[in-house]
Structure formats: structure tokens, C-alpha cells
Structure 1
Amino acid sequence: MSITTKQEMFERELQKLYHAEIEILDLHSDLATAAASDEVREIFDGHETDTVEQIDRIEVMFEELDLEPRERGSPIMEGLLAEKDEFIAEVADDDLRDLDAISIGMINERLEITLLDRLIMLADELDVPSSVVEYLKKNRDEAQVALSRMQQFLEERRSR
């Protein structure tokens, strides 16, 4: 399918975001399990409730836009999942496990923020309900908080 309108692009990106959020539930669970420290486990476990709420908001967005909730995969997300699988299989050192888990989590949050920024930009140019824009902004804010928490972990680790 060729994308020829901003509306089609918006719908495609919303489907990609939906897929990413659903994958993030498993990704964070896997990263929490693979983490060596309780602190890193808590970072990922603590974001699960937010992710479920973000998925719920996306489903409401589909409904408000009179679209069927559909996922669309992304080569970027699939690559991140492959990176996570490689990390789990190969990294044995505890400090490196935590560093790799946090790094993968940060890549994920940056990807999510980028998808949301694109959707917000397109929504501003389209005639979408203001509630949809607010949901997108709320999801972006939560992704930014998660990213900041991971960055704070790295900063604290550097100062030890």
C-alpha cells in the first residue's frame, strides 16, 4: 500500500505505535527478568502499569477515530527485540547485564517518543479530535518519564 496522504500516514504510525506498546509489555518483562539488580528490575516492572494504560489510550484513539485497532510491525521494533534476545543469550556479567538492559530500555523509550512526536505533528495538521492529541501527549510524557528514570540510573552509576 502506498501512503499518499497525511491521514494514511497518521493511521500507519498509530498502528506501529500500538504494535510497539504491546511488544513493550514483553520487552520490559524480559529485561526485568534478565536484569542483575533489583534497582533495574524495578525500573522495568514499575513501567508496566503505564504501558497498559498507554495501550488502553491507543485503543480509545482508534475508537474515537472510527478505526479498527490494528497492529503494524516495524523493522526498527523487530530489531530492538532481536537485540534484547541477543543480550539475554550472551551477557553474563551482572554489571554489563544491567547496563545492557537499561541501554535497550532507553532505545525503546526514544523510539516510542519519536513515534509519538510524529503522530502529534501529524495530528496537529489533521482534523483529529483534541482528545486524541491529549492521549498522544500523555503517552509521550510517560515515555519521557521512563527515559529520564533510566538516564538517572546511568548517571548515578557513573558517580559511584
Structure 2
Amino acid sequence: MSVKTLNDLFLETLKDLYYVENKLVKTLPKMAEKATSGELKQAIEDHLVETETHVKRLEQVFELLDERPSAKTCEALEGLLKEAEEVTGEIEDEQTLDAAIISSCQTVEHYEIARYGTLACWASEIGNPEIAELLEQTLEEEKEADEKLSEIAEDSVNQRAAA
């Protein structure tokens, strides 16, 4: 599909984000398994449950647009996950590994925050307030997940890794 209008761009970006969320449903359990901090492991597992809800919400958006849910490979996410795998695969110290996992997770969260923020804005601009509201709900959950990761990093993981 060629992008000619904001509606086209919205739909293409939505497909990108649908790919991201579905990929994360498969990736987050692996990250939780690698984590050694119980608090970090729990935060990732909790966010997995939210991510499954995000997939369903995106499917609602497709439905509201009278579109079949479909994903478009997100090269940005693939690059971020490849980098995360390379970095975490090289670290033997458990505390440093947890710090790297948080960093990798937050990088993905920031990508999602940018995408959800943009899509919510565009949905409002093209006259879809119900869709904008669904996207803003997920945006807030992504921000909360990012804040939780920062909290874990600042309260314990980074200090243990630095020791």
C-alpha cells in the first residue's frame, strides 16, 4: 500500500505497532527468564499481561476502522531486539545483566511511547476520538511500564551492578 494521506500513514503505522506488540508477547518471556532480580522478572511478567491487552486493543482499532488486523514487519524493533540479544548475551555478571535488560526494555518502551503518542494524535486529527482514546490508554500503560523499570534500576539494580 502506498502512503498518500494521513489515513494511509496511520494505517501503516498501526500495522507496524501491531507487529511490535505481537513480537513482544513472544520476546518478553525470554527477557523475564534471563532476569535475575525478582522485582525485574515480576515487572516484565506483569508487562507481558499488559502487552497481551495491547494486542487486543489494537485489534479493536482495526475493527473500528473496518480493517482486518495485519502486521507489517517493524525493522526498528528487529534492530532493537537484535542489539538487546547481542548485549545481554555477552554479560556474565548477573547484576550487570539485569541493568542491560532494563536498558533494552526501556529502549523498546520509548519506541512504543513515541508510536502510540503519534497514532493517538493522528487519530484525533482524522476524526477518530474513540480510537485516540484506546491508543492513549495504551500510551499511559507504556509510560507506567517505563517508570517502573526506571524505579527498579534506580532503587536497586544499577547500584548492585556498580558495586
For the 8 Å contact 2:88–2:100, the answer to whether it is kept is: no
Counterpart secondary structure, 1:47: helix
Cα deviation, residue 159, structure 1: 6.2
In the TM superposition, residue 118 of structure 1 has moved relative to its aligned partner by 1.0
**Residue 134 of structure 1, CA deviation:** 1.1
Q: Distance in 1 between matches of 2:12 and 2:60?
A: 16
Is the 2:121–2:132 Cα contact (8 Å) retained in structure 1?
Answer: no
Indicate the residue corresponding to 1:138 in structure 2: 137
Residue pair 2:120, 2:131 contacting (<8 A) in 1 also: no
Distance in 2 of aligned mates of 1:87 and 1:34:
12
* Residue 88 (structure 1) shift: 3.9
Q: After superposition, what is the alpha-carbon deviation per residue over 1:74-121, rounded to whole angstroms, capped at 9, x for unaligned?
A: 221010111222134221110111001000110111110000011012
What one-letter code is carried by the residue in structure 2 that aligns with 1:135? L
Residue in structure 2 matched with residue 154 of structure 1 by the alignment: 153
Rounded to whole Å, the distance in 1 between the matches of 2:67 and 2:88 is 37
**For 2:36, what is the secondary structure of its paired residue?**
coil
Gaps of 5+ in 1: none
Count the aligned residue pairs: 159
RMSD: 1.4
Partner of 1:105: 105
Change (3 A) 1:134 1:49: same
SS in 2 for 1:2: coil
For residue 22 of structure 2, give the secondary structure of its aligned residue in structure 1: helix
Distance 1:140 1:112 in 2: 8
Asked whether the equivalents of residues 21 and 55 of structure 2 are also in contact (C-alpha less than 8 Å), the reply is yes
Gaps in structure 2 of 5+ consecutive residues: none
Q: 2:93: which partner in 1?
A: 93
- Quote the Cα distance in structure 2 between the aligned partners of 1:108 and 1:135: 20
Post-superposition CA distance 1:36-95 (Å, at most 9, x none): 221211110111111111110100110111011010112210101112221342211101
Out of 79-88 and 10-19, give the one that drifted further. 79-88
Counterpart of 2:61 in structure 1 is 61
Name 1:36's counterpart in structure 2: 36
Counterpart AA for 2:42: E
